[in-house]
């Protein structure tokens, strides 16, 4: 029997007749990135309202137009046997030879994806995944030839799929209960984890060549969510209204859809409502139930730095429950965390692979392992403004256990401190550590005013004996002087 290729439409929303309530219902159903607490719900609705006050093309009209572009793309996929729009139909259409390709409103696929999947799989296959790409009209990146690229292929993640970059066979689905089958089609982020947890031996084929592109339109909730004023919204829209063509499109089959998206964005900008207020109206961020303890000292410290240095843009790596992130007073805030909080649900490595923004202040508080922190610092330096600052949390462990690489303690700092010690040898960076707030390392891109000549073997006993010297530990006054001035700070 021939295999049957089925497009499974995870969302099939008719945006034209959408209301705020029906929108919330479907977001609740498909929430893959943002937990919809009541305050968050209000926050999203406020942003839709902000959109509608700013443009004559309403938010839902715009989403419908984005969907139309995706539908055009889907109509060009060759050899699709069936399109399923209703999750309850899955069991009816599932034959033993079926292969399901989950799709969202913002996914574009290679026209020859079906033959590639069939060619690369066999009757034993449970799951096929591929590198995907992102089309993000608000930023470009340079490729190896120095050309601007408008589509960025992404790496393969060990942990899950960033978007619907997978297909599941009927055999794969049959490994799960009927209730879980719909989940395996609906929740791309957890598919791999669920397979690994429940079916440790499954046949997974990985394709290097990207087969799909996710169109991160400025209207996607993850892009809209950090926007808190009309000025910010317009800034974002102005960047996408450029008429210029990128020199290079690494996936030429996507060109017609890019053209359409660009045209749509121009129409949006042309329909700008007049009489924007002089002073942008600041929206409330949702009051975080995550902040029972009020403003933490590290948050006060960073807000003071932002105020004194007139910083505007802020990046946080590792946001936890947003206790800190929600209270940071920066105009532009990006938070990256693969599990919770922030604005980008991904690892720092994945974020830096596609990010094109630059920042005044970067706070690194993600995975507390020397090599990851070293990589986060290195990547942050490449997106740091020339007068910017990188802060690194948890540089001063209080016990041997707290700095072990395997977490055994409630409060865990890992071996972040080792990354800081090594940086102290760089001539082009000035590095010191605040003795409070679990040790906040500060890294400034300027010449090193206190070079560490040699580094002993980095063991816990050496840390205990030499930490002041190795890490250049400063009290708060000295710390502020260190980051404020271009003058070398006295060492504590």
Ligand X SMILES: C[S@@+](CC[C@H](N)C(=O)[O-])C[C@H]1O[C@@H](n2cnc3c(N)ncnc32)[C@H](O)[C@@H]1O
Binding site for ligand X (CB under 6 A): 316-320, 323-324, 336-340, 347-348, 365-367
Please report how close the Cβ of residue 86 comes to ligand X at its closest, in angstroms.
35
Q: Where are the beta strands (DSSP E) in 279-420?
A: 313-317, 332-336, 359-364, 384-392
Which one, 221 or 296, has the nearer CB to ligand X? Answer: 296
CB of 81 to ligand X, least distance (A): 39
Closer of 353 and 455 to ligand X (Cβ)? 353
Cα separation of 173 and 265, whole Å?
A: 39
Helix (H) / strand (E) element for 305: namely helix 297-308
Nearer to ligand X, 125 or 348 (CB): 348
CB of 439 to ligand X, least distance (A): 13
Give the Cα separation of 136 and 113 in Å (integer). Answer: 22
Of 107 and 316, the one with the shorter C-beta distance to ligand X is 316
The DSSP code for 344 is B
Nearest-approach distance from CB 367 to ligand X, in angstroms = 4
The smaller minimum CB distance to ligand X, of residues 37 and 91, is found at: 37
The Cα 280–Cα 332 span in angstroms is 14
Give least dist CB 318 to ligand X, A: 3
Residue number with CB closer to ligand X (139 or 159): 159
Cβ atoms of 260 and 241 within 8 Å: the answer is no
Tokens of 64: 């419908």
Residue 412 C-beta: closest distance to ligand X, Å = 8
Rounded-to-integer distance, Cα 426 and Cα 309, Å: 24
What DSSP letter does each residue of 311-337 carry, written as one string? --EEEEE--TTSTTGGG---SEEEEE-
- Give me the DSSP letters along 242-258: --PPPSB-SSGGGHHHH
Closest to ligand X by CB, 146 vs 410, is: 410
- In degrees and rounded to multiples of 5, residue 303 shows phi and psi of -65, -35
Candidates 172, 199, 44; CA nearest to 101 is 172
- Distance in Å, CB of 448 to ligand X, minimum: 27
> At 433, which helix (H) or strand (E)?
strand 430-434
């Amino acid at each position: 029997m021939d295999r049957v290729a089925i497009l499974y439409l995870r969302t099939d929303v008719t945006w034209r007749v959408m209301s705020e309530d029906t929108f919330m219902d479907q977001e609740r159903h498909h929430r893959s990135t943002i937990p919809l607490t009541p305050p968050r719900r209000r926050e999203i609705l406020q942003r839709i309202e902000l959109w509608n006050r700013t443009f004559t093309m309403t938010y839902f009209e715009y989403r419908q137009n984005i969907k139309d572009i995706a539908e055009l793309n889907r109509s060009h996929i060759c050899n699709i046997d069936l399109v399923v729009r209703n999750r309850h139909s899955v069991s009816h259409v599932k034959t033993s030879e079926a292969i399901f390709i989950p799709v969202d409103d913002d996914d574009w696929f290679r026209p020859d994806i079906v033959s590639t999947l069939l060619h690369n799989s066999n009757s034993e296959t449970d799951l096929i995944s591929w590198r995907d790409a992102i089309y993000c009209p608000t930023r470009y990146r340079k490729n190896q030839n120095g050309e601007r690229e408008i589509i960025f292929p992404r790496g393969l993640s060990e942990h899950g799929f960033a978007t619907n970059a997978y297909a599941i066979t009927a055999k794969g689905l049959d490994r799960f209960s009927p209730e879980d089958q719909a989940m395996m089609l609906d929740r791309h982020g957890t598919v791999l984890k669920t397979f690994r947890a429940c079916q440790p031996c499954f046949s997974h084929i990985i394709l290097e060549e990207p087969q799909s592109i996710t169109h991160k339109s400025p209207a996607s909730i993850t892009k809209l969510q950090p926007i808190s004023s009309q000025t910010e919204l317009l800034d974002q829209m102005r960047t996408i209204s450029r008429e210029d063509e990128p020199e290079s499109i690494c996936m030429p089959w996507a060109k017609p859809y890019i053209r359409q998206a660009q045209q749509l964005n121009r129409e949006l900008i042309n329909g700008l409502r007049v009489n924007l207020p002089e002073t942008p109206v600041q929206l409330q961020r949702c009051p975080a139930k995550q902040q029972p303890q009020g403003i933490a000292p590290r948050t006060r410290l960073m807000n003071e730095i932002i105020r004194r240095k007139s910083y505007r843009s802020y990046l946080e790596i590792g946001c936890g429950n947003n206790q800190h992130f929600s209270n940071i007073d920066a105009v532009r805030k990006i938070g990256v965390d693969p599990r919770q909080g922030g604005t980008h649900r991904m690892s720092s490595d994945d974020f830096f692979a596609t990010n094109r923004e630059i920042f005044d202040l970067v706070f690194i508080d993600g995975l507390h392992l020397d090599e990851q922190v070293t990589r986060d610092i290195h990547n942050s330096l490449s997106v740091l403004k020339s007068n910017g600052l990188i802060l690194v949390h948890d540089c001063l462990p209080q016990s041997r256990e707290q700095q072990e690489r395997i977490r055994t303690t409630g409060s865990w700092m890992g071996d972040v401190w080792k990354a800081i010690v090594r940086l102290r040898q760089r001539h082009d960076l000035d590095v010191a550590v605040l003795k409070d707030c679990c040790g906040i390392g500060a890294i400034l891109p300027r010449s090193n005013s206190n070079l560490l000549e040699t580094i002993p073997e980095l063991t816990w006993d050496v840390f205990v004996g030499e930490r002041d010297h190795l890490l250049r530990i400063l009290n708060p006054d000295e710390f502020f002087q260190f980051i404020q001035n271009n003058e070398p700070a006295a060492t504590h």
